[in-house]
Amino acid sequence: MTNKKDYYYISLVKGTVSKVSVPDTVEYEIYATPADIAKLNKLLDENHERDVSFAALNIPFKPFAEEEVDQMRAKDDDNLDEVFEFLYKFGTEETREKLKEVGYDA
């Protein structure tokens, strides 16, 4: 992979990373290398996998799986913190301002 930085647009709602801005969603613009983007994609994929598992655990077949669900929520919180740290670290000034507006400040 190359170490050349480029601008990317991150949609947390859609879980996407793109080099093209899509105006129908809230995006965070960052300036990063492809290796950095690979790390972000891994974080986003991990969160998506837990979302699917979380939904499965909330089906009433296992009504007492509260401990598992609580552990997944804690892991989601940790993952989301890592994503916001990443966005802040590589984000443009506009991105950092958006993060502050949603309550994140490094």
Give pLDDT tens digits for 72-92.
555 556 778 899 999 999 999
Q: How far apart are CA 4 and CA 94, in angstroms?
A: 21
How far apart, in whole angstroms, are the C-alpha atoms of residue 8 and residue 43?
A: 16
Q: Model confidence over 40-80: pLDDT tens digits?
A: 999 888 876 555 444 444 445 555 556 665 655 555 567 78
Report DSSP state, residue 13. Answer: T
pTM of the model: 0.73
